[in-house]
Amino acid sequence: MNEFDLIDRAFRQKLHFKHSLTRIPGGDDASVHAVPAGLELVVSTDMSLAGVHWPHDFPLEHAACRAVNAALSDLAAMGAEACWVWVCAVLRDAAAGGQMGDGIAAALAGSGIELAGGDTVHAADNSLAVTVAGVVPQGKAMRRDRAQAGDDIWLCGRLGFAALALERWQGGDHSDDAVRAFADVQPLIAQGVALRKAGVRCCIDVSDGLLADAAHLAEQSCVGMEIDISAIPSLAELQQHVDPDDAAGLVLGGGEDYALLCTAPESLRDSLSAHAVRIGRCVAGGSVRALRHGVGIASSRRGFDHFA
């Protein structure tokens, strides 16, 4: 089997869905797409590696599915509709190509998102670079630098469960449940669109951990934040599995659940309460403080930093 056969077999045969805005699909030097008047293009790229973003012994199909969904989460954070994915797959062998193809197909199945192109290379270790693109109405993309003191802080999605699942896998629990608990990350595309339509203009996805990503948003918006973790529904659920301090650490520092953290003026409370949970308030200053029932707490974990 040569490179071109492998690409065809692993990817294209399983992934022949073509988006209605695509004019020339993958298989040429580049793909070509229409972006209708009134819409803007939204693009993000993410790299995932065996041994960094998933354990080496984690099933590759699930790891690839997770990598695609993680990349799509960046479109969710902008309030974009997802349209296309391009992948650069580094593969140990042809079997890895099949498994990655299965995982990418699983991530995109029924999503309305097209695999519009890619590249495969043979090397010692598996990795997957994923570029995603979508569309958003002109001027309506949610961004990180629009929070204002006095805004409410809202959370859409769960926190801490991916970190808990990863700890369990690394502790030796290799059951199907453990695989699913780490791998089944869902990009909150529909929720991001709903938040944007409800009027939200400021959002980030929680990939590095709540405190770390809140700090990014606070820094770019030049505000401070006070987040009361007792308002986060995940906390009580996590406390059924681990002790309260560990649960707080997982909620504040556990990354890769891809929840959406957004801010909005009080006037949007009624319309947002159907989509998210209110967990705090933007304040003057630049620091992000975590509280429990109004009392400041320290986090036992930090966002993951590849070069620390």
User: Residue 235's closest CA among 247, 243, 246?
Assistant: 247
d(CA 171, CA 204): 31
Size of site (CB under 8 A) for a copy of itself = 71
Of 57, 95, 119, 244, the one binding a copy of itself by CB under 8 A? 119
Of 11, 86, 154, 182, the one binding a copy of itself by CB under 8 A? 86
Spatial neighbors of 37 by CB under 8 A, at least 6 apart, are: none
* Closest distance of CB 293 from a copy of itself, Å: 31
**Does 2 interact with a copy of itself (rule: CB under 8 A)?**
yes
Of 20, 124, 171, 270, the one binding a copy of itself by CB under 8 A? 124
* Closest distance of CB 30 from a copy of itself, Å: 4
Indicate left, alpha or beta for 76 from its phi (over 0: left) and psi (-120 to 50: alpha): alpha
Q: In the complex with a copy of itself, which residue's Cβ is closer, 34 or 109? A: 34
**Does 80 interact with a copy of itself (rule: CB under 8 A)?**
yes
Q: In the complex with a copy of itself, which residue's Cβ is closer, 24 or 222? A: 24
Residue 118 identity: G
Q: In the complex with a copy of itself, which residue's Cβ is closer, 95 or 109? A: 95
Footprint of a copy of itself on residues 40-59 (CB under 8 A)?
A: 40-47, 49, 51-53
**Does 20 interact with a copy of itself (rule: CB under 8 A)?**
no
User: Residue 162's closest CA among 84, 63, 244, 30?
Assistant: 63
* Closest distance of CB 294 from a copy of itself, Å: 30
* Closest distance of CB 58 from a copy of itself, Å: 16
Residue 34 identity: A
User: Residue 151's closest CA among 244, 240, 279?
Assistant: 279
CA terminus-to-terminus distance, the chain: 41
Helices 60-78 and 189-197, packing angle to 10 deg: 10
d(CA 232, CA 215): 18
**Does 23 interact with a copy of itself (rule: CB under 8 A)?**
yes
Q: In the complex with a copy of itself, which residue's Cβ is closer, 293 or 306? A: 306
* Closest distance of CB 191 from a copy of itself, Å: 14
For residue 60, give both structure tokens: 């590759």
For residue 292, give both structure tokens: 């429990």
3-state secondary structure of 234: helix
Footprint of a copy of itself on residues 192-231 (CB under 8 A)?
A: 203-205, 220
Footprint of a copy of itself on residues 132-191 (CB under 8 A)?
A: 132-133, 136, 138-139, 141, 143-145
**Does 261 interact with a copy of itself (rule: CB under 8 A)?**
no
Spatial neighbors of 53 by CB under 8 A, at least 6 apart, are: 63, 66, 67, 70, 256
* Closest distance of CB 44 from a copy of itself, Å: 4
**Does 291 interact with a copy of itself (rule: CB under 8 A)?**
no
Q: In the complex with a copy of itself, which residue's Cβ is closer, 122 or 174? A: 122
d(CA 271, CA 269): 6
